[in-house]
Amino acid sequence: MRYRRTIVPRRPIFLGCERKSEQGYGALLNRLVHDIHGLHIHIRVEPLQPGAGDPSVLMRRAVQKIADIERRGTRFSCKAILLDRGEPQKVLDAQRLAAASRIDHVIWQEPDHEAFVLRHLDGCQHLRPPAGETLRALRQRWPRYEKGSTQLQLSEHIDLSCVERACGVEPELQAFLLAIGFIRHP
């Protein structure tokens, strides 16, 4: 007697990212998702550049990219964007567009990705270095950190416990990860 094995497709999650650094982080989250027993999702990490760091331009690119992908048949169960916080009016414009376009989560990196990564490290959750000082602050704790780090490079210092730790001070990250089942109740 033959048994047919049914392969259930993974639930697709959209994660739009600004630069290579954020793409590496998104890829790391996707790898960690596969390490969590029973979590049957796939985080599709999509670059949004060029956008010159303008959150409203990047949000428009994300909306267009989602529409293009969904037109080809993929329906995302959750849509999120990982962006640096920028000029207040452009942030507001991006938030309005996200709401109008049914983007579920905007994860604002305050003030940028390096500070966001820093808050994943043990004892660094509450550090808030100012813009222009974030890379130096991160390299004080992680001397070999490089901008544009890949998933593999990030995984040398960031694991599931680090992501859970960051969720304690990054409510938008926590809301996204709760929504997709990556973490359980805080």
pLDDT number for residue 90: 92
Per the domain annotation, does 1 fall within a domain? no
Per the domain annotation, does 60 fall within a domain? yes
Per the domain annotation, does 3 fall within a domain? no
pTM of this prediction exceeds 0.85 = yes
Per the domain annotation, does 186 fall within a domain? no
Cα gap 115→110, rounded to integer Å: 7
pLDDT number for residue 53: 78
Residue 184 predicted with pLDDT over 80: no
What percent of the chain lies above the pLDDT cut of 90?
82
Q: How confident is the model at residue 59 (pLDDT cuts 50, 70, 90)?
A: very high
Residue 1 predicted with pLDDT over 80: no
Per the domain annotation, does 184 fall within a domain? no
Q: How far is the CA of 185 from the CAs of 24, 33, 91, 175, 181, in angstroms?
A: 26, 16, 28, 10, 9
Order of strands across the sheet with 41-47? 41-47, 11-17, 78-84, 105-109
Residue 37 predicted with pLDDT over 70: no
What percent of the chain lies above the pLDDT cut of 70?
96
Cα gap 126→168, rounded to integer Å: 10
Per the domain annotation, does 91 fall within a domain? yes
Q: How far is the CA of 72 from the CAs of 16, 75, 144, in angstroms?
A: 18, 9, 41
Cα gap 98→52, rounded to integer Å: 18
pLDDT number for residue 50: 73
Mode of pairing for the β-strands spanning 105-109 and 41-47: unpaired
Per the domain annotation, does 146 fall within a domain? yes
Mean pLDDT, the chain, rounded, equals: 92
Range of the domain at 66: 11-179
Q: Each residue of 76-110: pLDDT tens digit?
A: 999 999 999 889 999 999 999 999 999 999 999 99
Q: How confident is the model at residue 186 (pLDDT cuts 50, 70, 90)?
A: low
Query: Which amino acid, one-letter code, is at 95?
Result: Q
Q: How confident is the model at residue 5 (pLDDT cuts 50, 70, 90)?
A: confident
- Looking at the structure of the chain, the number of domains it has is 1
Asked if 12 and 42 touch (Cβ cutoff 8 Å), the reply is yes
